[in-house]
Structure 1
Amino acid sequence: MHPNSAFRPRQDDLAELLVREIGFAAIFASTPDGPRVAHAPVVLSDDRATLQFHLARGNALTRHLDGATALAVVQGPDAYVSASWYADADQVPTWNYVAIEMEGTARKLDDAALVAQLDMLSASHEARVGANPPWTRAKMNPALFSKMTGAIVGFEMRITAWRPTVKLSQNKSADERERVAVGIEATGHGALAQLMRHLGGDRDSA
């Protein structure tokens, strides 16, 4: 989390929105073998109190997560910011980025809860891709589906802390922020440029 309070989202629901939109996280935890990280699709509960995910049973983190404190990080768009884009020569290069950290205690899910998680994931993302008809597990041989789910383990992390960073040049003037957005867009990072313009406008009008 960046220490500058200017990079904390002003909108209460922005961190939640980004987690739902991106839907993929790095899960960190300490283990007897040292720190480990896994990467997984995630499901945020409606009340934003819990985050569900699943890992391969053979993942180095899986056997240590039940009851452990974990950190989930959802990464948004990011890009290099050239100091040459500022009007003031006394500037240095930096990096704009979006990152949402969530901390909490993880618990292992039973088989029924794991299947429910998989159903939620597929329904959400099938709707996004516009599949018609959408894929569901009803299309699979039940025995094969059961065998495949036996190779993964579901978890739910009860979130005790949210630490979002949305670093989009909010500490710069509107003119400088637009120059940076133009530069970022020209380097192929259009999504980040659009976020800068949207959030920057909200901040200036606040």
Structure 2
Amino acid sequence: MYLTSAFDAKDPALARELMRAHPLAQLISVDDDGLPYATPVPMHLQEEGSDVVLLGHCARANPHWRYLQERPQAVVSFMGPQAYMSPSVYPDLARVPTWNYLMVHCTVQARLIDALDDKDALLKHLIGDHDPAYAAQWRSLDPAFQQRMLGAIVAFELRVTQLQCKLKLNQHRPEAHAAMYASYAQGNADERALAVWMRRLGLVDASSSAD
């Protein structure tokens, strides 16, 4: 993705934090006609030393798994908090609106997972991430039903080969930071989240409150 130095977050821990906090990502591959093909997929992130591996699955009826099989290189895009920014935050009028957002963009190498036991293990990771209480219910289901459900999906391991983390918070315009923070701190959930990130990145005084 287009990434200028002002918005390039070099700390991989920030990227991993965003990926875990916003796990529904866009998996983007090339289809048989050479066009981009996107599927929203909740991802489980695993760390293997300095490597990052993403686990997910799609319906067997979705041709996306075939595209991964035939062309294993793909892109996974995570979108964090995002919000409009009014030019009213600037002290002068010769300004234009923009949009602020936090995003992680991964290039990945895919490997399909189709063995039932391996898919079951993958699903347990996702259950652990989002609904741990459901684990007991899943284990109690009839094995034949479980096998049908597992047979209806194709899982995949996506090994990250390149990672970009873009934190676009108007860092290069310090004259707008105080007013932008004040506006975001009183806004909707995404705007309040961006206000918190402004504090984390030192764009406003750490003692500032979003309450």
TM-score range, shorter chain: 0.7 to 0.9
Cα displacement string for residues 111-131 of structure 1 (whole angstroms, at most 9, x for unaligned residues): 22221110011012225xxxx
CA contact (8 A) 2:177 2:203 kept: no
Q: How does 1:95-134 map to 2 (within 5 A)?
A: 95-111=99-115, 112-127=117-132, 134=133
Cα displacement string for residues 68-115 of structure 1 (whole angstroms, at most 9, x for unaligned residues): 211000110101111111113222111100110110211101322221
Separation in structure 2 between the aligned mates of residue 169 and residue 68 of structure 1, nearest angstrom: 36
SS of residue in 2 equivalent to 1:55: strand
Separation in structure 2 between the aligned mates of residue 202 and residue 196 of structure 1, nearest angstrom: 6
SS of residue in 2 equivalent to 1:157: strand
Show the counterpart of 1:183.
Answer: 183
CA contact (8 A) 1:78 1:98 kept: yes
TM-score in terms of structure 1 length? 0.87
Show the counterpart of 1:92.
Answer: 96
Separation in structure 2 between the aligned mates of residue 76 and residue 12 of structure 1, nearest angstrom: 15
SS of residue in 2 equivalent to 1:46: strand
Distance 1:202 1:159, change over 3 A: farther
Alignment RMSD, CA only?
A: 2.0
Cα displacement string for residues 22-72 of structure 1 (whole angstroms, at most 9, x for unaligned residues): 112100000113221001110111234311110011113122112521100
Deviation at 1:10, TM superposition (A): 4.4
Q: How does 1:61-80 map to 2 (within 5 A)?
A: 61-66=64-69, 67-80=71-84
- Unaligned runs of 5+ residues in structure 1 are 128-133
CA contact (8 A) 1:170 1:200 kept: no
TM-score in terms of structure 2 length? 0.85
Deviation at 1:201, TM superposition (A): 4.5
Q: How many residues align?
A: 197
Deviation at 1:139, TM superposition (A): 2.7
CA contact (8 A) 2:45 2:54 kept: yes
- Unaligned runs of 5+ residues in structure 2 are 207-211
SS of residue in 1 equivalent to 2:3: coil
